Amino acid sequence: MKLLLKQSQKIFLIVIPATLLMAGISAYSSILSHQALFEACKQRELNTAVTLIQNTIEEAQTKAAARASIVVNQPSIKEAFRANDRDRILERLLPTFLIQRDRYGVADGHFHTAPATSYLRIYAPTLGQGEDLSSFREMVVNTNKDHEPRRGLEIGRRGLSIRGIDVVKDAEGYIGTFEIGLNFLPVLENVKKNTGFELGAFADDDLMSRIANSLPHPDAERIISGLRNIETTDWKTLKSVTTPELFSSIKEISTQIKTISGIDYGIVLIPLKDYKGLNIGVIVAVQNFETYQKQMSAAIVRAISFSLLQVVVLCGVLLVMIKVMFVRPVSAEGSSQ
């Protein structure tokens, strides 16, 4: 009987450490697997945000160009422009453009004559008529010069806009140009709706201060590392992550995960390039990844609990097997003697 107990103890001393080792390996493997899965999910969300931001900006540029094309091809607009009849142009366009502004974020509708002289602003008819914009509106200058439509980003008197510009011409030839400007907020809100990210658009503060002088100067907190926030879906969230270090070098698209006060945030940075391809700002998108952190913590608890359960079950099975295979036969043998 004593020999049997010694053998049972040896079995326990061998099997229990082995069981603990296998359970530990199983838990560790499960934790690594879940960690890789959640990291992949985070990266997928970041990549999706990048794609949607780029596509939405491109789509907005196309819409701006399409709206401009519709206007410049209306015979009544051509006739009024040729006849230098601003009142008639306003009569035709202002009611429609008020709807476009209120529903679709059309921030500007602007007629020019060569080289880049302000002829008529739909939303501000008396503002700046005859103003020479050629020192900062190269997009207008070049369109009036080569009579080719353009689209892209550029800073004007009212700030950074997504623009589409087209040529107004009739049977007699060239008359001038017409431009549509869209603001960024509908773009940001559309991306937020589809991804859950909070977004902000930032533009070069020096350019904004020099060119967009019809806008009030923003609060100091909205100027970070020489970039001015012009639109945001949630400034409180953006403010917590947009540090000078984040904007230290923005030359290409980047994604990162940053931990702030124990919470992970996914961050997307997309440089804003003007129609010539020069960097003039950045789009920032931020997503709170706390849900993934909670899921990861729950996965760790489950993995450890399951491993401990394995140990308990295997030890219980081992005890039963020892009792059935050794203890009972020996007891039965002793009784028969």
d(CA 261, CA 264): 8
* 38-57+185-292: CATH, from 1.10.40, 2.120.10, 3.30.450, 3.30.70: 3.30.450
Q: What is the pLDDT of residue 284?
A: 96
Common-topology check for domains 38-57+185-292 and 60-182? yes
d(CA 162, CA 323): 80
In this prediction, residues 46-60 reach a mean pLDDT of 95
Query: 220, 237, 251, 250: which is closest to 285 by C-alpha?
Result: 237
* Sheet strands (E) in 45-141: 106-113, 117-121
First and final C-alpha spacing in the chain: 14
In this prediction, residues 243-247 reach a mean pLDDT of 88
Task: Give the model confidence (pLDDT) of 301-311 as tens digits.
Answer: 666 777 677 76
Q: What is the pLDDT of residue 155?
A: 94
25-29, 147-151, 163-167, 220-224: which range is least confident on average? Answer: 25-29
Domain 60-182 carries which CATH code? 3.30.450.20
d(CA 178, CA 140): 9
Q: What is the pLDDT of residue 125?
A: 93
What does the mean pLDDT of the chain come to? Answer: 86
Task: Give the model confidence (pLDDT) of 198-217 as tens digits.
Answer: 999 999 999 999 999 888 88
Domain parsing of the chain, residue ranges: 38-57+185-292, 60-182
Q: What is the pLDDT of residue 313?
A: 72
SS3 35: helix
Q: What is the pTM of this model?
A: 0.81
When pLDDT is cut at 50, 70 and 90, the band that residue 84 belongs to is: very high
Query: Containing H/E element for 161?
Result: strand 159-170
Q: What is the pLDDT of residue 175?
A: 97
